[in-house]
Structure formats: structure tokens, C-alpha cells
């Protein structure tokens, strides 16, 4: 019972975590592409 209550307390964190990881991956690839573009254009 105690463990179940602790898991319920953490549930919002577990819901948000995958979205944060996806956003990080999207932002990382976007930043990598934009930096590559800037390097090609010589900033």
C-alpha cells in the first residue's frame, strides 16, 4: 500500500518525462541542423 501511494505521487513526473525526452531529441536535431547550415553559410 505504501509503495502504491509513492508511485501515484510520482505519476505526473513519469507522464512529463517522455515528453521532455522527445523535446530534447527534437531540439538537439534542430540545433545540429541549424549549426551545420550556419557553418556552410559562414555564419
The model's pLDDT over 26-42, given as tens digits with 9 standing for 90+, comes to: 999 999 999 888 888 87
* Residue range(s) defining the domain that contains residue 33: 1-43
CB-side neighbour CA atoms (13 Å) of 28: 6
- Per-residue pLDDT band at 8 (split at 50, 70, 90): low
Q: How many domains does the chain have?
A: 1
Q: How far apart are CA 25 and CA 28, in angstroms?
A: 5
Residue with cell 550556419: 38
CA pair distance 38, 2, nearest whole angstrom:
54
Amino acid at each position: 500500500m505504501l509503495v502504491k501511494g509513492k508511485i501515484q505521487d510520482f505519476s505526473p513526473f513519469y507522464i512529463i518525462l517522455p515528453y521532455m525526452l522527445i523535446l530534447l531529441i527534437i531540439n538537439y536535431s534542430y540545433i545540429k541542423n541549424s549549426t551545420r547550415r550556419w557553418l556552410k553559410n559562414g555564419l
